[in-house]
Structure 1
Amino acid sequence: MRALVSARLGADFTRLWTASAVSNVGDGVTLAAGPLLVASLTSDPALVAGAALAQQLPWLLVAPLSGVYVDRLDRRRLVVVVNVLRGAALAVLAAAVAASAVSVPLVYAVFFLLGVGETLADTAFGALLPATVEPERLPAANSRLTATAILGNQIAAKPLGGWLFALGAALPFAFDAVTFLVAAALTSAVRVAPAGRPAEAGGRSLRREVAAGVRWLWRHRLLRTLAASMAVSNVAFCAPFAVFALYAQQRLHLTEVGYGVLLTAYGVGGLVGTALASRLQARLGARTLLRAGLVLETATHAVLAATTHPLVAGGILIAFGVHSVIWGVIVATLFQRSVPDELRGRVGSVYQLTQIGGAALGSLLGGLIAQAVAITTPFWAAALAMTVITAVAWRPLAAA
């Protein structure tokens, strides 16, 4: 299979693809084992939840600055160095766990550093990808990357992380450290010309370079519309899904196992979406798929608000999973084709900041709304918000 991919997309893409697959498995293992580690150190729910916040916080604090350095430096070398440093941080954590010297502040510090590295490596990876693939092959490349991310991070890694933690609390973090080093070695073998601009950028302030990325995104009507739509969509999505476990219990009357199966339905839809994305885009066009996606997302929240049947909820989540991957592939391809190479880091980081900011706001609002009114209220509110977004974005999406 790898030889076939190499023939179609090139050996350099195959190296990046493999590096992404390996690091996604490692990331998923740490995401599963991290809360277990903190829970073994404290019974305070706020402290356990804080581990996830520590890794997300850098996206809100330093993402635009990371975008500047992605545009200034050699992106391939940046990914390699950051992955080595992330591997070293995880090795320190694994050693501390093995020596029974770990503490909650140490876990937070390591996870924060991992998050900072993620803002650099993920942004640089997205900006590096177009240099390894012909423009017409970008949808296929993005589909393959998304498929391995779903399989590795969401499906395979979570049970693996729990199993490794049960064998030995240090093992998941040592395993992830090794995956970062393997990903660094694979990325170092990618043969692309350096894309950084150290000489040109040296005399420019960080503030002006960040502003240049914000300005470019704001002036591009289609990408500005996509960024704003997804920011609000993330608020709408994360608000109800922040209380989804309670919704599954109280509204659908599911057990813990049933809740897990329901979440798997979303992943199954995502895998189907990776198989269909490039073909549907070639047949129907980006405009039709983006508009249909907004309609489907509105319907998803309305159906979940109205139904009490697990099969109906599972079916709409499969459809939503298909949509979310197709939307993601289209948006990634549009960004890679539209944004000038020298601005990809800054524009990409600003876009990511709007998405993660929306997700954080949605997670905060969802619990408050459900607590104040009813468990289905966040879903109805999300459906209303998506109706407004669909109406506002409909005409600008014609440019896709």
Structure 2
Amino acid sequence: MTTEGTASSPAQEDGPAPEASGAAKGRWRGVLTNRDFMLLWSGFTVSSVGTSLSNLAVPILALGISGSPALAGLVGAARLAPYLLLTLLAGVLVDRWDRRRVMIVADLGRFLVLATVPLAYAMDSLTVLHLAVVAFLEGIGHVFSNIAHLSALPKLVTDDQLASANALNEIGDSAAGVGGSALSGVLIGLARNSTLGAVYGYAVDAVTYLFSGVSLLFVRSGFQDERTPKEDGSIMADLKEGMSFLWRQRLLRLLMIMVTLINFLQAPLNLATIVLATDELDVNAGVIGLILAVVGLGTVLSALAASWLRDHVGLRGLTLGSVFLWAAAAAMMASASSIYMLTAGLLITNLLWPVFAVSLVTYRLSATPDALQGRVNSAFRTLSFGVEPIGVALGGVLIASAGPRFLFWGAAVGLVLVLIGGMAVWGRDEQETTK
């Protein structure tokens, strides 16, 4: 584990680090037999199934109760608002508080909050305001739980298991996305109407958080180093310390800027895909849903290979290679004359993310001291995730005014510029480290 001001240099992290297959198998075996990590992973994966299920249940129930797309949109916005409003503060508090307790409170709190929805529906008193409040509180739970989970990971696995643990998290998250979407469809299909099916979805989601919270009670390992009281208890001072560390680490700073630009450019691609498929390629919504399910299954397989690729290709190769392939995929989608070509571009785009994320997150966690994990992770995510709503909004305007193909070409050009900039800065840093 590196300490503040001595994060691994690009020359140390960028090159391939191939290991014997026996060592790789041993590393995976170590993760899979790590009792405490597997408890954490199991609970988080189950709760991710519930979260994915709610991604469909929330708008359907809001529409069923209000009959207004605008109000349904406000409920969805309430669910996302804590990511923009509270992520930085969550990072500071996660570094101050006991991380396991934060996660347990977040899980049990979401269980109680979500359970009020089927109860209110049964009493015929469910309102859009109620749904919005529940969505906002659930979003707060997501923010605190995710930051605490990510920050605690290096304390539950050894350094050489960290990449495999991150890969397993990506596998669980991808599988949960597919399983949650499928379960949501089943619940809605079995109910006498979609609104009641969405209520069932809320109930199942609540139970998944209860399972996750209870599973954490059985984790024996500590989730952080022993804390030493500080004389300066200012939240702003703590926040500045974390952001200053992130900005001083040149490679972390470069990665943060690159990921922010990539997320901004790719945020509206799903919307552009749907518009292009339905308006120009005459594909119905059912086929699009099937395509998205297949893409989701593909990301599970991609996540399985993420740890191996990180060892054999290296952070630099995976980062720059991913941006190059993303640019090519966007160009492919821009020129797609059939649903098959569009699907191929979408599949390439999504398959790369688990591989990229495992390499990036593993480096960030290993380069950050434990006392700063919450703040560094939250600062990184505030910027890189915070641009996504802006990208979707601006992308929607571009699609409406110039069409989806224009947006795809714009994303392709933007990603090429990100690639050129990343290669230039990374290359300069490598030259400096060899002087």
Query: Does TM, normalized by the shorter one, top 0.5?
Result: yes
In structure 2, distance between residues paired with 1:7 and 1:246: 42
Q: 2:92 aligns with which of 50, 58, 68?
A: 68
Q: Which amino acid aligns with 1:341?
A: D
Q: 2:350 aligns with which of 283, 304, 321?
A: 321
Query: Where in structure 2 are the equivalents of 1:137-148 lying within 5 Å?
Result: 137-148=161-172
After superposition, the CA RMSD in angstroms is 1.9
Q: What is the number of equivalent residue pairs in this alignment?
A: 396
Instruction: Give the match's secondary structure for 2:267.
Output: helix
Q: 2:306 aligns with which of 277, 288, 298?
A: 277
Deviation track 1:206-257 (CA, whole Å, cap 9, x = no partner) reads 1111121211111111111111111111111013333332121123321112
| Further displaced range: 277-286 or 243-252 | 243-252
Deviation track 1:96-150 (CA, whole Å, cap 9, x = no partner) reads 1222211111101101011111110000000111111111111111111111111
Q: 1:159 aligns with which of 182, 189, 199?
A: 182
Deviation track 1:10-69 (CA, whole Å, cap 9, x = no partner) reads 111110110111101111122221111111112222212222211111111111000001
State whether structure 2 residue 48 is matched by structure 1 residue 24.
yes
Aligned-residue identity in percent: 26
Query: Where in structure 2 are the equivalents of 1:162-241 lying within 5 Å?
Result: 162-165=185-188, 166-167=190-191, 168-169=196-197, 170-193=199-222, 195=224, 200-201=229-230, 203-241=232-270
In structure 1, distance between residues paired with 2:226 and 2:395: 43
Tell me the residue number matched to 1:100: 124
How far apart are residue 189 of structure 1 and its match? 1.3
How far apart are residue 379 of structure 1 and its match? 0.9
Runs of 4+ in 1 over 3 A off after TM superposition: 4-9, 196-199, 395-400
In structure 2, distance between residues paired with 1:272 and 1:90: 32
State whether structure 2 residue 174 is matched by structure 1 residue 150.
yes
How far apart are residue 309 of structure 1 and its match? 1.4
Contact 1:68/1:210, CA 8 A, preserved across alignment: yes
Q: 2:106 aligns with which of 82, 85, 89?
A: 82
Deviation track 1:364-387 (CA, whole Å, cap 9, x = no partner) reads 011111112222111111111111
Tell me the residue number matched to 1:381: 410
In structure 2, distance between residues paired with 1:201 and 1:372: 54
| Further displaced range: 332-341 or 27-36 | 27-36
State whether structure 2 residue 150 is matched by structure 1 residue 126.
yes
How far apart are residue 269 of structure 1 and its match? 2.8
Contact 2:156/2:223, CA 8 A, preserved across alignment: no
Q: 1:245 aligns with which of 274, 285, 292?
A: 274
Q: Which amino acid aligns with 2:235?
A: L
| Further displaced range: 292-301 or 156-165 | 156-165
Give the gaps of 5 or more residues in structure 2: 1-27, 431-435
Contact 1:80/1:185, CA 8 A, preserved across alignment: yes
In structure 2, distance between residues paired with 1:43 and 1:95: 21
In structure 1, distance between residues paired with 2:343 and 2:398: 24
Instruction: Give the match's secondary structure for 1:190.
Output: coil
Distance change (3 Å), C-alpha of 1:199 and 1:100: farther
Distance change (3 Å), C-alpha of 1:368 and 1:345: same
TM-score under structure 2 length normalisation: 0.87
Contact 1:86/1:177, CA 8 A, preserved across alignment: yes
Instruction: Give the match's secondary structure for 2:326.
Output: helix
Distance change (3 Å), C-alpha of 1:53 and 1:202: farther
TM-score under structure 1 length normalisation: 0.94
Instruction: Give the match's secondary structure for 1:200.
Output: coil
In structure 2, distance between residues paired with 1:372 and 1:68: 42
State whether structure 2 residue 389 is matched by structure 1 residue 366.
no
In structure 1, distance between residues paired with 2:65 and 2:122: 14
Tell me the residue number matched to 1:45: 69
How far apart are residue 351 of structure 1 and its match? 1.1
In structure 1, distance between residues paired with 2:391 and 2:356: 20
Contact 2:331/2:409, CA 8 A, preserved across alignment: yes
Name the larger-Rg structure.
2
Q: Which amino acid aligns with 2:305?
A: L
Distance change (3 Å), C-alpha of 1:203 and 1:300: same
| Further displaced range: 298-307 or 246-255 | 246-255
Contact 1:269/1:320, CA 8 A, preserved across alignment: no
| Further displaced range: 49-58 or 112-121 | 49-58
Q: Which amino acid aligns with 2:259?
A: M
State whether structure 2 residue 326 is matched by structure 1 residue 297.
yes
Contact 2:31/2:165, CA 8 A, preserved across alignment: no
Distance change (3 Å), C-alpha of 1:197 and 1:138: closer
